[in-house]
Amino acid sequence: MPELLDVRLDSPTLDEMNFFAKRLAFLGFEEILAFQAIAGRDITQNNADELVSIKDLINTTYGLETVMIAADVSDDELLGQFVIESELHDDVNSVPDNAVYLLDRKKIGRLQREIDGGIFINDFYIVAGEYERPEIYDGKTLPNEEPSEWYAFRLKIAEAPMNSADETAGSAEWISLPIVKSEADRIANLHNEGCIEDCVYFDFESSIPQITSEMFGDMQDFDKLNRLAEKITYLSPVDQLKFKAVLCAEQPADLESCHDIIDHLWQYQITAKPDDAGAFFKQYLSHHLDSKFDSEWLDTLFTRNEGERLLKRLGASCTPYGVISARGHLLYELVACHEPEVEELKTQAFTDEKLDVIEVLGRKALFSNGRILPEEIPEGLYAYDLRYSDEEGQFIFIEPKVGVNHGGTVLMRELLDFREKGYLSFIDDTSPNFLGYDLTPREFMETEPSQEEENEQQFGGMQL
Phi-psi region of 398 (alpha: psi -120 to 50; beta: other; left: phi over 0): beta
Full-model pTM: 0.53
Do residue 308 and residue 350 come from a single domain?
no
Say if 225 falls within a structural domain.
Answer: yes
* Residue closest to 5 by CA, chosen among 29, 40, 30: 40
Sign of the Cα torsion 236, 237, 241, 244 reads positive
Q: Which structural domain range is residue 252 located in?
A: 236-337
Q: What is the pLDDT along the chain (464 residues), one digit of tens a residue?
A: 666 777 888 888 999 999 998 888 878 778 888 998 898 888 777 666 678 889 999 999 999 988 999 888 889 999 998 888 888 888 888 888 888 788 888 999 899 999 999 999 878 899 988 899 999 999 889 988 766 677 899 999 999 988 877 778 889 999 999 999 999 999 999 999 999 999 999 999 998 989 999 899 889 999 999 999 999 999 888 898 899 999 999 999 899 999 999 999 999 999 887 778 888 998 899 888 888 888 888 888 888 889 898 998 899 999 888 899 998 888 988 888 875 443 443 444 566 788 889 999 888 999 988 877 777 788 888 889 998 887 777 888 898 888 777 888 999 988 888 877 778 888 878 888 888 888 888 888 887 655 555 554 444 443 33
Do residue 79 and residue 112 come from a single domain?
yes
Say if 117 falls within a structural domain.
Answer: yes
Say if 358 falls within a structural domain.
Answer: yes
Do residue 312 and residue 359 come from a single domain?
no
CA 257 to chain centre: 14
| 200 strand-pairing partners | 158
Do residue 402 and residue 312 come from a single domain?
no
Say if 132 falls within a structural domain.
Answer: no
Please tell me the predicted confidence (pLDDT) of residue 158.
Answer: 93
Say if 197 falls within a structural domain.
Answer: yes
Do residue 156 and residue 229 come from a single domain?
yes
Do residue 330 and residue 404 come from a single domain?
no
Do residue 289 and residue 379 come from a single domain?
no
| Contact of 365 with 395, CB cutoff 8 Å | no
Please tell me the predicted confidence (pLDDT) of residue 350.
Answer: 63
Residues 6+ away with beta carbon under 8 Å from 128? 34, 37, 38, 41, 67, 116, 117, 118, 119
The domain total for the chain is: 4
Please tell me the predicted confidence (pLDDT) of residue 423.
Answer: 83
Say if 137 falls within a structural domain.
Answer: no
Please tell me the predicted confidence (pLDDT) of residue 228.
Answer: 96
Strands 406-412 and 394-399: unpaired
Residue ending a domain, choose from 197, 213, 234: 234
Do residue 6 and residue 117 come from a single domain?
yes
Do residue 220 and residue 243 come from a single domain?
no
Do residue 122 and residue 7 come from a single domain?
yes
Do residue 274 and residue 262 come from a single domain?
yes
Say if 138 falls within a structural domain.
Answer: no
Residue ending a domain, choose from 93, 127, 161: 127
Say if 140 falls within a structural domain.
Answer: no
Do residue 12 and residue 114 come from a single domain?
yes
